[in-house]
Structure 1
C-alpha cells in the first residue's frame, strides 16, 4: 500500500508544476507562494522542523528571486549592448561604403589621368617621346610604352638609344610576367 502512495504523491506535487509550465508561467511565479512564510506555517507554527523548513524554503525562494532579477538585469545589459553593436555595425558599413566609393572615384581619376598621359605620348613625335622617356624611371617609362598604341611604342623604342631600349624592353617583359 505504501508503494502505491508514493507515485500518487509525486503526481500530486508534479501536476501543479507541469500545469504551470504548460501555461507558460514565469519560474518566479512558482516560488511566490514559498516566499510567504505565514501561509506556509499556518497551523504548523509549533513544529520546529516545519518552521526550519519554511525558513529554508523562503531563503531559497529569495535567492532564486535575486538570481532571476540578476538574469533580467543581464538580459537588459545584453540587449543594450546588442543594440549598440548593431548601430556601430551600421555605422561601420556606411563608412566602408563611403571609403569604397572614394577609392573607386580616386582609382577612376587616376585611370583617367593615365589615359590622358598615354594620349599625349600617342600624339607626340617619337623622337620627343623617346627623349622624355629616357629621363623617366625605367618602370614608369615601360608602363607608358605598354599602354601607348603598339605602332607608336615601336617608333618610340626605335628612337631611344639601344641600351635604354633594352632596359625598357626588359621592364616591359618583367611587367608582363608579374601580371600573369
Structure 2
C-alpha cells in the first residue's frame, strides 16, 4: 500500500522560512531606531521636569462650585476643630483615669495595711483575753467570785463562757443568786439570735 503525501506535507520547509522572516523583521525594527526611541522615552519619564516646562496652574472653579467648595472647606475646618477638642478631652480622661487608678491602688494598699493592723490588734486582744481567762480559772473560786461580783453581768458572762466548765461552775456558786442568775441568762441567750443557716 502506498502512502499518499498530504498537500501540506510537501511544503514542509515553509514554516521555518516564515518564522525566519518574522525574526528578521523584528531585528530590523529594533535595530532601526525603535529601541532607541523607547529608551529615550523611558529616560524622559524618569527625569524631573525642566525649568523651561510650564507648570500648569489650576483654573478657578465656576461660581456655583466655588460656593460648594468653600462650604466643604468650612465644614472640614469645623470637623477638624471638633476632632482636636475630642482628642484633648480623651487625653484629659486618660490622665484622670490614671489618677483614679493610682488612688485606687493607694486605697487598696491602705486597706491591706489597716487589715493587717486590725488582725494584729485582734490577735493581741484575743491573746490578752485568753490569758486573763486562764488567770481567773486558776484563782481560788472565792476570790474569783468576789471579782466577778464587781463586774457588769455582760462582761462577767463573757469570761465565764470562755472558762472551763468546772472553774466557771465554782465561780458561779460563789456569786449572789440574783447576779448568778442574770449571768446565766446572758450565757444561755447569747447565741439565740445567731443565724440558723
Say yes or no: TM over 0.5. yes
Question: Moved runs in structure 1, 4+ residues, more than 4 A?
Answer: none
Q: Determine if the alignment matches structure 1 residue 91 to structure 2 residue 106.
A: yes
| Aligned partner of residue 103 in structure 2, secondary structure | helix
Q: Determine if the alignment matches structure 1 residue 113 to structure 2 residue 117.
A: no
Kindly report which structure 2 residues correspond to 1:45-64, keeping only aligned pairs within 5 A, or say none.
Answer: 45=61, 47-64=62-79
In 2, distance between residues paired with 1:165 and 1:103? 34
In 2, distance between residues paired with 1:106 and 1:78? 41
Shift of 1:179: 4.1
In 1, distance between residues paired with 2:157 and 2:189? 10
Equivalent of 1:136 in 151, 156, 165: 151
Kindly report which structure 2 residues correspond to 1:10-21, keeping only aligned pairs within 5 A, or say none.
Answer: none
In 1, distance between residues paired with 2:67 and 2:88? 31
Shift of 1:178: 3.6
Match of 2:164 in 1: 149
Equivalent of 2:191 in 168, 176, 180: 176
Match of 1:43 in 2: 59
In 1, distance between residues paired with 2:191 and 2:95? 55
- Asked whether the 8 Å contact 1:134–1:160 carries over to 2, the reply is yes
Higher helix share: 1
Give the TM-score taking structure 1 as reference length: 0.74
Query: How large is the RMSD of aligned CA atoms in angstroms?
Result: 1.4
* Structure 1: stretches of 5+ with no match in the other structure: 1-40
In 2, distance between residues paired with 1:62 and 1:94? 48
Match of 1:125 in 2: 140
* Structure 2: stretches of 5+ with no match in the other structure: 1-56
Q: 1:179 to 1:118 in 2, by over 3 A?
A: farther
- Asked whether the 8 Å contact 1:44–1:50 carries over to 2, the reply is no
In 1, distance between residues paired with 2:142 and 2:161? 17
Greater CA radius of gyration, 1 or 2? 2
Match of 1:164 in 2: 179
Match of 1:74 in 2: 89
Aligned residue-pair number: 139
| Aligned partner of residue 176 in structure 1, secondary structure | coil
Shift of 1:167: 1.1
